[in-house]
Amino acid sequence: MGPRHAGPGVPLQVLAEHCGGQLVGNGGIVISAMAALNDAAPGDIAFLANRRYRGQLATTRASAVIVAPDDAGLTALPKLVTENPYAAYAKAAALLYPPVLAVPGINASASVSATAQVAASATIGAFVVVGERTRIGERAWIHAGCVIGDDCELGDDVVLYPRVVVYADTRIGTRSIVHAGVVLGADGFGMAEEHGRWLKVPQVGGVVIGTDVEIGANTTIDRGALGNTVLEDNVKLDNQIQIGHNCRIGAHTAIAGQAGVAGSTRIGRNCKIGGAAMIIGHIEIADGTVISGGTSVFDTIREPGVYTSVFPTLPHREWKHVASVVRRLRRLAERVLTLERTIKHLGE
């Protein structure tokens, strides 16, 4: 399970070619690590993606920087100039910090079903369980303690970090990454009320996860009741998110930590959902919608845009007064109406 330690270093010229930026200055200097502007040391490359930190360009000890064209004039350091410094940072970091390489093979302690098909280039860690008829693709890396049920399909280059549980009938696309403690395919929350008791509704659908998806630690994605729960390609989920049964999350949508999506809701493509947002079941969210952190969404959103619902934070004493007015807000509105009528009458 890999930390990513800096590799032997890369000439700035090579970084520029890899990241697609324009090289300004000496391309022969060797860059050995990535750092924030105010933490950088000689040998590091830093980046400016948030203009709030522009002042740090003058004082950084980095050997080179990644900047946008508008900021290029602010520093005499060797630099990569690019319209998207944050994306260039992502690419540079991937080059400077090579991924830890797995040693292919099945750990002797793992319990792999005789009917499972595991690619020879895949790595299966200690104490992993792989169920009947499950297929695991080339170079996939299943870290220690994962439990994968029957009839699953994990694509090439999939990574499951330690202790992921994959219930039966789950499919995970190529290059997707699943962090520790995630549970994929547990039963959705389905039950029928009869005479004041709950009857369990068997959850007989599955989970289908696209390619290039990343799922954060301890997130849970329930299997469908009938039919599948679906994450399309390049969906990015942070930690401790809950996705209910039969949801569909559109491609390139990112959801921040502790958000929840109740059953059968469909979220469009390229949406951004803030942390701790709560989205009710059986609604639809349009492509490109942005939901602020902490916001509760109770109705379908047809128009993309930014949506928010959280109450402003106040010092508690002040909040108590405000909350007390909120409670009586209907009465306040009625009083204003009465005033308007009275004045109209007085004015006549």
Binding window for its own copies (CB under 8 A); candidates: 23-31, 54-62, 71-79, 160-168: 160-168
Active-site residue, selected from the candidate residues 179, 245, 282, 316 = 245
53 contributes a contact to its own copies by CB under 8 A: no
114 contributes a contact to its own copies by CB under 8 A: no
Q: Are 282 and 264 in contact (CB under 8 A)?
A: yes
Residue type at position 134: T
Active site residue 245: yes
Q: Rule CB under 8 A: which of 258-277 touch its own copies?
A: 258, 260, 262, 270, 275-276
Q: Alpha-carbon distance 5 to 101, whole Å?
A: 12
CB of 237 to its own copies, least distance (A): 9
CB of 24 to its own copies, least distance (A): 21
First-to-last alpha carbon distance for the chain, in angstroms, is 81
Three-class HEC string of 177-232: EECCCCEEEECCCCEEEECCEEEECCCCCCEEECCCCEECCCCEEECCCCCCEEEC
Among 57, 106, 256, 271, binds its own copies (CB under 8 A): 256
Token pair of 47 as six digits: 């980046």
Token pair of 41 as six digits: 């040391």
199 contributes a contact to its own copies by CB under 8 A: yes
DSSP secondary structure code for residue 259 in this structure:
-
134 contributes a contact to its own copies by CB under 8 A: no
Q: Which is nearer to its own copies, 72 or 93 (CB)?
A: 93
Q: Alpha-carbon distance 170 to 134, whole Å?
A: 9
Q: Which is nearer to its own copies, 28 or 348 (CB)?
A: 348
CB of 133 to its own copies, least distance (A): 11
313 contributes a contact to its own copies by CB under 8 A: yes
DSSP run (H or E) holding 340: helix 329-347
Residues ≥6 apart with Cβ < 8 Å to 326: none
Among 8, 59, 193, 302, binds its own copies (CB under 8 A): 193
Among 59, 93, 138, 153, binds its own copies (CB under 8 A): 93
CB of 169 to its own copies, least distance (A): 4
User: Which residues on neighbouring strands pair with residue 172, listed in sequence order?
Assistant: 154, 209
CB of 154 to its own copies, least distance (A): 15
Among 189, 266, 283, 284, binds its own copies (CB under 8 A): 189
240 contributes a contact to its own copies by CB under 8 A: yes
76 contributes a contact to its own copies by CB under 8 A: no
Three-class HEC string of 43-98: CEEEECCCHHHHHHHHCCCCCEEEECHHHHHHCCCCEEECCCHHHHHHHHHHHHCC
Binding window for its own copies (CB under 8 A); candidates: 22-30, 54-62, 68-76, 163-171: 163-171
Q: Which residues are catalytic?
A: 245
